[in-house]
A and B are shown apart, each in its own frame.
Chain A
Amino acid sequence: MNMEHSNKAQAIIVALAGLFAFVTIVIADDTTSSVTVSNATPSISTVNFNGGSAITLTEATYTYASATITVSDTNGCSTINAVEARAFVASTSPVAVGNACAANDNNCYITASSSIAAPTLGGCYATTTGNTCTGGLDTSVQYDCGFKFWYIAEGTDSAAPVWASSIWSISATTSDGSATSTATNSTQVVEINSLSALDVTATLPYGTLSVGTNTGSTNSTSTVTTTGNIAIDTQLSGTDMTGAGTIDVSRQIYHNAAFTYPSGTARLTTTTTPTLELLNNNNPSSTTTNSIATSSASWGIQIDTGQANGAYTGTNTFAATAD
């Protein structure tokens, strides 16, 4: 009996020893894992300027045109914090990347994102109607950049006197605060059309004349202002002055400088020949709208003997034509 107990005890000891032979002691502790997500450089995937269409300016004021810029950032589109676009006169190819032109109303317009909530003309704004940034995993967002093109912006169409072989391009830059990138609308050919336009003082004061006299060396003048983007001349025509009788249109003579009647350029006719070469309208390319070219047209008139006394009215037309 004792032997049996002894054997059992030995068997239990052996079994426990065998069990502990396979048991290892594990010491548990907390571990931390870390990974650094590097900043991805944002990229500009598309730059679309005015839908690829030519831009028509408006005389004496500005015309709005826009560039649509799609920006991507694999860190998420919400990391984009700046977009800038420059519209500038460029050679037809290649388009300059990262163009750094200085802003002027002739050939370089710059617009950029701002913190203004309500979109106004000018500036770059994240779109509210197109590809919006929804945050999270969304990687791209569309910005609309508006440009106010003034009437002196250089024309680049085939009628443009200087830049006919050039185009208008966009250079866009974006940043996420750490990295920047640039792109252009290299697949587009966008022109600004030449604009032949003018403004003229509304009336032509001849003064008071007696029958059988003319204005002599006392000229009346019309001030002609170039309100387009190319140099102009004017084609003049008129109507007979009517009232108590008729003063034939040919009694009016014009010139581009002071003159003594009847030695001006030509007599006015009801048609439009010849063209009056304006002396100072060859330079509408000032870089600001504050100094626009003006010129003068001088006028004289003859009142024939026998002309009936009374009031007379007529209309003279100034038509702008490319110089």
Chain B
Amino acid sequence: MVMKRSILFALVTFFALTPIVHAGFGVSPAKIIEDKLVKGSTFERVIYLVQGTPEKDLRVKLQVDDSDIKDWITTTPKGDFVIPKGTQQFPVILRFAVPKDTKMGIYKGFVRASGAPKAEPNEPEGQSGVVIALGAAVGIELTVGEGVYYEYAIRNLDFKNIKETDDPTADISIENKGNVPAGPAEASFELFNKYGDVRLAYIQGVKVPKVEPFKIENMSVEFPISVGLSVGEYWGLVKLYDDSGGKVREFKGVFNVNKATFLDKFGRYIIWTSLAVVAFIIVRLLTLFVRKIRRKRT
């Protein structure tokens, strides 16, 4: 009788039968901090939802917490989606748009990703309890002020291996940390032999495109030198200059010129010749067609 009155809640029994799966969850980077925003600024960042042992598909719910900046943020993907098994790093794009009527200040919020429970509560009869789900929250810290911030960083500068038919090319990665377009203005390039001691060519005044605010831009800048390069190794020296002509970065390194294929060498001529032939045939046919019509009329 006492036992009957004592209604028991078996809150744990099934856990003894449920295997514990070691599968964590996280987000990187942990915070997004921008302190040079102005009204109307827009930018985007990529965060990664990470799992060390993605042994099965994971249902995820992504949401922007309620805060003053909730409406500033859109995500791709959004809402509920599935991270396929085997995916250790799943990218999510966050886009930020500061309204033009925003007051100056510091704004904070979270973008939150919550995964499905680690153990499935399959509820065998008479068994119950709490299962654990994992999630991660990216802290957002945005400072909206006024004024022009001009600041950029050159994150990468390197030479690209090219073919005989190409011009020397430098890969440049520029991060604009400010709120106006920024970046180096021009570049110069010096070509040296394989030992780096004899200069073969020089070009200056090659324009470098500006990078939009808060963006990281990876670009390839070509240097159209007047000499054709044969297959082999060369040294190059690239210098980047700011708007006032001051040198902001230089890099000397080796690049390779590889053999070009037949299509690399003559592809463009073949295409242009083919187009010319086709155009000629079309014009000829049209002419014949027009003449035929005129003859019929006469």
Residues of B within 8 A of A (CB): 6-12, 15, 18, 20-33, 48, 50-53, 65, 88-89, 110, 112, 114, 117-119, 121, 123, 125-139, 153-159, 161, 171, 173, 175, 194-196, 233, 235, 249, 251-254, 256
Contacts and interface: CB of A to CB of B under 8 A. Distances in A.
Closest 3 CB pairs of A and B: A197-B26, A52-B156, A199-B24
14 contacts: A61-B52, A61-B53, A140-B194, A140-B254, A190-B155, A194-B30, A197-B25, A198-B25, A206-B129, A207-B12, A211-B9, A235-B110, A313-B123, A322-B30
A56 B50 contact: yes
Interface string A174-206: 000000000000011110011111111111111
B130 A227 contact: no
Interface-centre pick from B21, B125, B136, B161 (highest chain A CB count, 10 A): B136
A51 B156 contact: yes
Nearest to A132: B256
A187 B157 CA distance: 6
Contacts of B30: 155, 159, 193-196, 228, 230, 321-322
Nearest to A194: B30
A203 B15 contact: yes
A208 B26 contact: no
Interface string A290-311: 0000000000010100010111
A318 B128 CA distance: 20
Given A187-B154, A307-B7, A45 B134 contact: no
A205 B15 contact: yes
Nearest to A322: B30
B112 A272 contact: yes
A256 B265 CA distance: 70
A243 to B, nearest CB: 6
B93 to A, nearest CB: 14
Interface in A7-64: 45-46, 48, 51-53, 56-61, 63
A56 B139 contact: no
Contacts of A317: 114, 132-135
A114 interface: no
A254 to B, nearest CB: 11
B35 to A, nearest CB: 9
Interface residues of A, number: 77
A312 B9 contact: yes
Contacts of A230: 30
Contacts of A272: 65, 110, 112, 137
A320 B27 contact: yes
Contacts of A51: 156
Contact of B123 (A190, A210, A311): A311
A193 B18 CA distance: 35
A66 B126 CA distance: 53
Contacts of B134: 198-200, 317-320
A46 B158 contact: yes
Nearest to A188: B156
A208 B11 contact: yes
Contact of B25 (A59, A155, A307, A315): A59
Contacts of A139: 194-195, 233
A59 B88 CA distance: 9
Contacts of A187: 154, 156-158, 249, 251
Given A189-B153, A196-B136, 4 more contacts: A61-B53, A199-B24, A313-B129, A317-B133
A309 B158 contact: no
Interface of A: 45-46, 48, 51-53, 56-61, 63, 70, 72, 74, 130-131, 138-140, 151, 155, 157-159, 187-190, 193-211, 222, 225, 227-228, 230, 235, 238, 241, 243, 252, 272, 301, 303, 307, 309-322
A208 B12 contact: yes
Nearest to B32: A159
Contact of A203 (B29, B129, B139, B249): B129
B89 to A, nearest CB: 6
A151 to B, nearest CB: 7
Contacts of B22: 60, 199
Nearest to B18: A203
A188 B155 contact: yes
A44 B7 CA distance: 77
A157 B46 CA distance: 14
A59 B23 CA distance: 9
B28 A202 contact: no
A68 to B, nearest CB: 9
B104 to A, nearest CB: 21
Contacts of B251: 187
B31 A205 contact: no
A196 B27 contact: yes
Contacts of B114: 317, 319
Contacts of A238: 130
A196 B50 CA distance: 9
A58 B88 contact: yes
A182 to B, nearest CB: 15
Contacts of B29: 155, 157-159, 193-195
Given A60-B52, A202-B118, A320-B137, A195 B15 contact: no
